[in-house]
């Protein structure tokens, strides 16, 4: 009998995860406001509005629930609706049902950390976010951690991959981060985001113990200048403009993924070099066709 996995917020990461779960032999239902993009993928599409109680009542029972919703814009109201309030509403719906999922996963982010002096952070590090994004994400984390249902929070660092090319575009335009002071950056490829979740879901279904929190980032925190310099060399671009904060929010910390590695997960793209090489290689054929 197939296990049923319900993915709420089945966008880029959710769809990648869903395809991996189907390959592993599971039934996958992808819930989102507009599920049309899932048609024909093998993922069963389901239209859901997390702000509509009647819509939540239509959610099917599932063995595993993965909450990987994204806010539709970067403001406090959108984050509150997508993360804190949306997760609370979903858990309330699951809580009233006679059949509970075996585990609920919530995808969070490293925005919950306030450290920006190059410190090493892990699952035990202090979380005192100063911005609304990190504060609301932390509230959502605690909502699941303190709930009666078995749950695991997975904090992703900066997600990159096909279609997520803002940093590459900045390098193409000749921009580069300052080399001093070093601004440490952390990242994880989209395929590893899905891989980490697939790995943990397998452990949950095998009744193997899981912690309530994991930090998921690749194996090499690195100064952003080094990443951009590598990209410039690979793209054969001369950089001519130094920018202090090429990312949305200035932050400098080093994510320690030891707890994740101890579960047996092995990264497909352990550093930015393998990951960005894949992104650039995927983009190359499209460039050739346009030419």
pLDDT, residue 289, reads: 34
Strands 187-189 and 44-47: unpaired
153-165: average pLDDT: 96
Here the tokens at position 165 are: 């090319």
Residue 245's pLDDT band (cuts 50, 70, 90): low
pLDDT, residue 76, reads: 96
Say what the alpha-carbon torsion angle 197, 203, 204, 209 is, to the nearest 10 degrees: -120
Integer CA distances (angstroms), 221 to 170, 177, 262, in order:
20, 15, 18
21-38: average pLDDT: 95
Q: Closest Cα to residue 42, out of 68, 18, 62?
A: 18
Give the three-state DSSP class for 282.
helix
pLDDT, residue 247, reads: 53
134-153: average pLDDT: 98
Question: Ramachandran region of residue 236, left (φ > 0), alpha (ψ -120 to 50) or beta?
Answer: left
144-151: average pLDDT: 97
Q: What's the chain's average pLDDT?
A: 94
Question: Model-level pTM greater than 0.85?
Answer: yes
pLDDT, residue 243, reads: 86
pLDDT, residue 250, reads: 63
User: Between vectors from CA 252 to CA 164 and to CA 238, what angle results, nearest 5°?
Assistant: 55
Here the tokens at position 153 are: 């929070």
Report the CATH fold assignment for 4-163+187-219+249-270.
Answer: Rossmann fold (3.40.50)
Residue 205's pLDDT band (cuts 50, 70, 90): very high
Task: Write the burial class of residue 97 (CB in 10 Å: 0-12 exposed, 13-18 middle, 19+ buried).
Answer: exposed
82-111 pLDDT per residue, tens: 999 999 999 999 999 999 999 999 999 999
Phi/psi of residue 12, nearest 5 degrees? -60, -55
Q: What single-letter DSSP state applies at residue 81?
A: I
In the predicted structure, residue 187 carries a pLDDT above the cut 60 = yes
User: Between vectors from CA 275 to CA 271 and to CA 281, what angle results, nearest 5°?
Assistant: 150
259-288 pLDDT per residue, tens: 999 999 999 999 999 999 999 998 875 443
C-alpha 110/C-alpha 218 separation (Å) is 13
In the predicted structure, residue 248 carries a pLDDT above the cut 60 = no
pLDDT, residue 252, reads: 92
The residue with tokens 């997600």 is 159
148-162: average pLDDT: 97
Question: What is the full DSSP assignment across 97-133?
Answer: SSS--SEEEEEEEGGG----SSEEE-TTS-----SHH
pLDDT, residue 91, reads: 97
pLDDT, residue 287, reads: 40
């Amino acid at each position: 009998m197939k296990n049923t996995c319900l993915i709420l917020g089945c966008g880029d990461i959710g769809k990648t995860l869903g395809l991996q779960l189907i390959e592993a032999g599971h039934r996958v239902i992808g819930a989102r406001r507009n599920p049309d993009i899932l048609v024909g993928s093998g993922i069963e599409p389901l239209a859901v509005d997390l702000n509509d109680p009647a819509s939540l009542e239509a959610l099917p029972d599932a063995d595993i629930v993965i909450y990987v919703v994204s806010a539709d814009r970067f403001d406090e109201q959108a984050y509150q609706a997508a993360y804190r309030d949306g997760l609370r509403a979903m858990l309330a719906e699951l809580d009233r049902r006679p059949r509970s999922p075996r585990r609920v996963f919530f995808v969070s982010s490293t925005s919950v950390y306030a450290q920006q002096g190059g410190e090493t952070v892990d699952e035990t590090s202090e979380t005192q976010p100063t911005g609304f994004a990190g504060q609301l994400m932390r509230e959502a984390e605690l909502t699941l951690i303190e709930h009666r249902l078995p749950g695991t929070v997975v904090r992703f660092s900066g997600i990159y991959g096909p279609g997520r090319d803002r940093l590459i575009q900045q390098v193409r335009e000749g921009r580069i981060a300052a080399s001093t002071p070093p601004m440490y950056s952390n990242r994880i490829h989209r395929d590893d985001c899905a891989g980490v979740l697939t790995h943990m879901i397998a452990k949950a279904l095998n009744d193997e113990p899981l912690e309530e929190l994991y930090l998921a980032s690749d194996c090499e925190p690195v100064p952003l200048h080094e990443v951009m310099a590598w990209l410039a060399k690979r793209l054969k671009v001369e950089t001519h403009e130094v920018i202090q904060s090429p990312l949305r929010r200035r932050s400098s910390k080093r994510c320690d993924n030891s707890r994740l590695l101890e579960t047996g997960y092995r990264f497909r793209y352990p550093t930015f070099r393998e990951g960005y090489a894949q992104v650039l290689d995927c983009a190359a054929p499209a460039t050739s066709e346009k030419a």
